[in-house]
Structures are given as structure tokens and as C-alpha cells.
Amino acid sequence: MKLRTGDTWIPADEYGRSLKGLTVNLLVRDIERALVFQTEVLGATVVYSDPDIAVVSGFGAEWMLHADHTYDKHAMQDVVADVSQRGAGMELRLHGRHPDEAEAAAQRLGFQVLARPTDKEAHGLREAFLIDSDGYVWVPDMPL
């Protein structure tokens, strides 16, 4: 059940045809709360948002957030309703976001820090593991 009133910034079919390669669409409980993490912790920019969907971009990537309620007639509706820890076993890496700045923002805003920023010499990266309000694990990293 969509909550948006009015039209999106771009017709859905036009946006869909514009997508290339791999895209990420994260299902979230609350778009507004999810955007706090996306903008304040990850440093992403909001391209568009309404109560149903948000498109964000940062560090050369663009991804989408869809509110759970928009999946009421979707093939994944039962899976979404039964998930306690979303994204288990998956790391969402955001290359170019400074992990120390992201971790400080996460701490300040009350998000969970799974692992503080650490230099991973073998990978040539400094990285942190942060969990958003929907349970997704984000790994902002910078080259050493």
C-alpha cells in the first residue's frame, strides 16, 4: 500500500529503464529513519525521497530504499515480514567514505558499531562495520 501522494520526481518506468549493471534495493521499515543513517553516517546525498521510496547516491554509486509497506503485493512480502536480521551474511561496502567519520556519526546518532575503524593492511583499506536501523551491515572504507 503506497503512502505517496502525487508523482515521483521521475516516472517509475523511465527510472527503471535508466538503471544499468548491478543495483541495490534495500527494504526498510521507515524511509525517514533510514535516511538519517544514509546521509549522516554514510555521507550519501538524497536524490529523491517520499514515504515509499528513496534514491540516494554517494561515492560514485546510487542505490534505492523501499519501505516494507510497498511490498504488500510483491513476491517477497512473506520473506520481508519474517526477517529479524536483514542483510545477514552480506556487507554493503561504500568505498570512499571515511570510516572514522562514519563511525563517529553512528555513535552520535545511536546506531550500532559492530567493529571500530581498523587498518586492514592485507586489503590496503581502513574500514569500519556499522549497522543501520534495519540491520544492514555497512562497511565504509578508504585506501590506506
pLDDT in tens, 87-107: 777 889 999 999 999 999 999
H or E stretch at 128: strand 125-131
Output the pLDDT for position 96.
94
For the stretch 53-90, pLDDT in tens is 999 999 999 999 999 888 777 776 666 666 666 777 78
**Is the CA virtual torsion 85, 26, 94, 57 positive or negative?**
negative
SS3 (DSSP) at 13: helix
List the one residue out of 29, 49, 24 whose CA is nearest residue 39: 49
Find where cell 559492530 sits: 114
- For residue 55, what is its C-alpha cell? 534514491
* Domains with residue ranges and CATH for the chain: 12-143 (3.10.180.10)
Q: Which amino acid is located at 21 in the chain?
A: G
Of 23, 25, 45, 21, residue with least CA distance to 35: 45
